[in-house]
Homo-oligomer: A and B are copies of this chain.
């Protein structure tokens, strides 16, 4: 029996909602993307959105041309404005990532992804600085300095990986960082800039970044790192399989920046985990499963202890790093599929978005919070065997004693698991249609709806007792609301079919 205290431990931080990831920014021009964002913000409500490719050719900002015999550069914001307008209109702000390199400014031909983001250093540092300056100046002109100061600005992405930064040249990254950070502050000293946005397994780059910061004193307002828990990809056509570390490994990764930097000049800065997920592959079906939701539940409910934010990579399968997906469920990172079918991990977040402001209890398989109006939210999840050696328990049981006001509580339970609230499983039952017909799609929307049950339970001594039995990989939200009974005194259920009232 988990005895949930009536007094809160404190506020429940919403680091979990600070940021979410997206594929390259110009995908925000898509209808499906915008609809997905609108749904996401209605149900969950993230604050920032971070994606690649602000300076890539698809956004068309850096535009060199010849005129009267000389080279000039236009900075053009046709798409940038459309993208950011769309974000703000959907109620989410950009977490700016400065990169990749426009081809007209690149020093080489190396590109990443199907959509060919150039990942070489600038051919001309001044022109890079001019690009950064023009972009930020334009954004301030259009959106106002007060607004833009709230948008964190990160320099590049995963420079420690050869696919993202030519030769993983650390010194070159530091030079890029330095010129960029100074340019940002020249535009407006109130803007926030940070890095080094490294991938897992390269924490020596954090040390290097701290040494560089010590030595060169560039502006640094925050430190960023990514976190993934999967092993090397085993490829099949249009897909990958990977082993998975236990979820605690992700929390360790979240904690790495503070741990590594604690005796450096960067200690105490905000730490943003600007990407995380179970697997780092955009074609691993794990992302579509209830297992993923149950696996990440302890991470998203506990991450605030280790970092200021952790940004799920990504909110939507509208994402083209590995090309156009060949099947509806294809292992994309998205919380939402193309056409906005909600995956189990979407529901994990949507459940979390119904948490209260006060933290009452937290454990290996549960999080209990309370709203100011007295509603108590119990989020619980089944344990996951990340090794795959066992399927994970079917029938994990929690017993809780929950403090709640009044004489009775209205209890609503919402669940997703391997079968319920699980469009992926329904799609498998359908025969895995690669491009579902409209009628199939309608059924997938329905199938994604969490299973709900409702009850009224007695409250004794200010407490309700709950026994929750969880199916395999279930994530469940139990909401308890004190009942104010307005049933009129003349109500008598036995009279529904005209029977005589009780004497």
Contact = CB atoms under 8 A, between A and B. Distances in A.
A486 B434 contact: yes
Interface in A401-429: 408, 410-412, 414, 419-420, 425-426, 428-429
A447 B454 contact: yes
Interface bin, chain A: 35 or more
A432 interface: yes
A78 interface: yes
B496 A286 contact: yes
A495 interface: yes
A384 to B, nearest CB: 10
Nearest to A72: B237
Interface in A1-38: 29-34
B446 A326 contact: no
A496 B388 contact: yes
Interface stretch (A165-173, A238-246, A298-306): A238-246
A447 B443 contact: no
Contact of A77 (B76, B81, B435, B496): B435
A326 B76 contact: yes
A285 B67 contact: no
B289 A496 contact: yes
A286 B455 contact: no
A485 interface: yes
A464 to B, nearest CB: 13
Nearest to A500: B234
Given A326-B74, A425-B454, A454-B429, A285 B496 contact: yes
A372 to B, nearest CB: 11
A436 B488 CA distance: 15
Interface in A314-341: 323-328, 338-339
Q: What is the copy number of this chain in the assembly?
A: 4
A353 B9 CA distance: 49
A283 B429 CA distance: 44
A63 interface: yes
Contacts of A63: 238, 323, 326
A148 interface: no
Nearest to A487: B432
Contacts of A58: 324
A410 B387 contact: no
B431 A231 contact: no
Given A243-B497, A325-B78, A65 B32 contact: no
A491 to B, nearest CB: 8
Contacts of A80: 435
Given A388-B498, A497-B386, A327 B78 contact: yes
A495 B456 contact: no
A242 B499 CA distance: 8
A169 to B, nearest CB: 29
A205 interface: no
Contact of A326 (B78, B242, B428, B447): B78
A481 to B, nearest CB: 8
Contacts of A29: 30-32
B74 A443 contact: no
Interface string A267-292: 00000000000000000011001010
A151 interface: no
Interface string A214-240: 000000000000000011001011110
Nearest to A422: B454
A424 to B, nearest CB: 11
A376 interface: no
Contacts of A386: 497
Contacts of A495: 234, 236, 241
A493 to B, nearest CB: 9
A353 to B, nearest CB: 13
A454 to B, nearest CB: 4
Nearest to A59: B324
Interface of A: 29-34, 57-60, 63, 65-67, 72, 74, 76-82, 85-86, 138, 142, 230-231, 234, 236-239, 241-244, 285-286, 289, 291, 323-328, 338-339, 386-388, 408, 410-412, 414, 419-420, 425-426, 428-435, 437-438, 443, 446-447, 449, 451-456, 481, 483-491, 494-499
